[in-house]
Structure 1
């Protein structure tokens, strides 16, 4: 039981920091940890990770909302588009291997972390508001289609894809990008968790509770820090967290 708690705590720590700082999906961290060290079946591990993601993303989104660092209107547009086209992309998922799916998420996490350290996002909210509402709506739909297709096809990296596109393509300020990302991930994780439990049955309850509480704790800590940090500090902190998580996930995958 102690070993189980330690693994869940460490997995939740990584997932929570990734969620609070970068809107990263908890599944990218928790799933490989549970599969590798606790021998939990992959399908159940993903379900537990998604369940952990729901509360962690929800609390993070609320924290960003209280600090006015979230774009709910365009976030809803992108969320619905992502959900629809994830289903479309999933039809193509059988064409590639599980290893390819996992590798995509890990490599993207590592590269995005390095990107934030080397080339930080310094866009301001004033610069964001220069884009017309109509153009932003169209951009949200198009980017939602791209993210959905990639997530459905590759099976991983949704949070990372959203953060990358929100900051580089849509020109979002970093805090607003993360806030919008965790807002979207709250609902996508809920949809995924419900479907996993409906199909795969009830997972290991103790493991799920440990993971949910640990992820929630660290996501709240990270979100509160992120909303108070200066842009340059936040970029470096986000980059460091993603770089470390990407490296650790690659190592864990090799062990597996």
Structure 2
């Protein structure tokens, strides 16, 4: 199978995940770029931010039209993560690649386990009861992980919005796209040194297919229940985390 076909296929899957789940794009894009298209981990994390930035902005527009995006809490989340994302993005260039791969796998696995836990009572609190300090603190932590691991942060933002801030699943999916877009763009601003390893002839088709897939993902999210989305999200994260952890240790 040619590299272009692989890029188009992987891009469609990434877009579907972002549109339907509000996250998972980077956690799928990074291993696809490394293991299918031959990118180095450093170049893959930078390329994934380009792909996920464009795709998440498209998916955010689609979700915003339905009125499910919680702009106030999402903006606070995103703003708190800007500086941590930029600082961690600069730091990531100095870390060995096996450490980045292992950290990526560990964070993905923790997020999956968190999504599979039963919801506590506070997961159904009205969003108006969310404390700004809690939203800002969680957003800053997500921003740092975004910059360090080259991910949009949606696979962590969705469970955080559900379990920490009390969002219902569909609102968390839509709002997480605002966080993903902002954190990805902030992290990209500090990654100029790794842009030289990007093959734009593959990243372009990958991005285009991801954008188209995001629209289909949004339609899927409108039909599927929140519990199904959570379980599907967690299953994908666990599979990817296991594969990357084995690779980092061998």
May I ask how many residue pairs the two structures share in their alignment? 249
How far residue 207 of structure 1 moved from its aligned partner, in angstroms, is: 0.1
Q: Equivalences for 1:133-212 in 2 at 5 Å?
A: 135-152=130-147, 158-193=153-188, 195-196=190-191, 200-201=195-196, 203-212=198-207
Q: Which segments of 5 or more consecutive residues in structure 1 lack a partner in the other structure?
A: none
Poorly superposed stretches of 4+, deviation over 6 Å: none
Deviations 1:54-108 (A, max 9, x none): 2211122122212222111121121121011234445765886432332233233
- Give me the whole-angstrom Cα distance separating, in 2, the residues matched to 1:14 and 1:87: 27
Query: Residues 236 and 164 of structure 1: is their aligned pair in 2 closer, same or farther, counting only changes over 3 Å?
Result: closer
RMSD of equivalent CA atoms: 3.3
Q: Distance in 2 between matches of 1:54 and 1:14?
A: 15
The answer as to whether partners of 1:58 and 1:182 remain within 8 angstroms in 2 is yes
- Tell me which residue corresponds to 1:129: 127
Q: 1:216 to 1:203 in 2, by over 3 A?
A: same
Partner of 1:106: 105
Equivalent residue number for residue 11 of structure 1:
10
Q: Is the CA contact 1:26–1:50 (under 8 Å) kept in the aligned structure 2?
A: no
CA distance in 1, matches of 2:193, 2:73: 30
Question: 1:83 maps to what in 2?
Answer: 82
Structure 1 match to 2:231: 236
User: TM-score scaled by structure 1?
Assistant: 0.78
**CA-CA distance at 1:152 after TM superposition:** 4.4
2-side partners of 1:237 and 1:36: how far apart?
22
Matched-pair contact (CA < 8 Å) for 2:22–2:154? yes
Aligned to 2:23, what secondary structure does the other structure show? coil
The CA deviation string for residues 96-128 of structure 1, in whole angstroms up to 9 with x for no partner, is 64323322332333453455456368945xx32
CA displacement 1:170-218 (0-9 Å, x = unmatched): 1221111121111121232234445545763483232012210222222
Once the two structures are TM-superposed, the CA of residue 248 in structure 1 deviates from its matched residue by 5.1
Q: Is the Cα contact below 8 Å between 1:44 and 1:196 reproduced in 2?
A: no
Match for residue 49 of structure 1?
A: 48
Q: Normalized against structure 2, the TM-score is what? A: 0.80
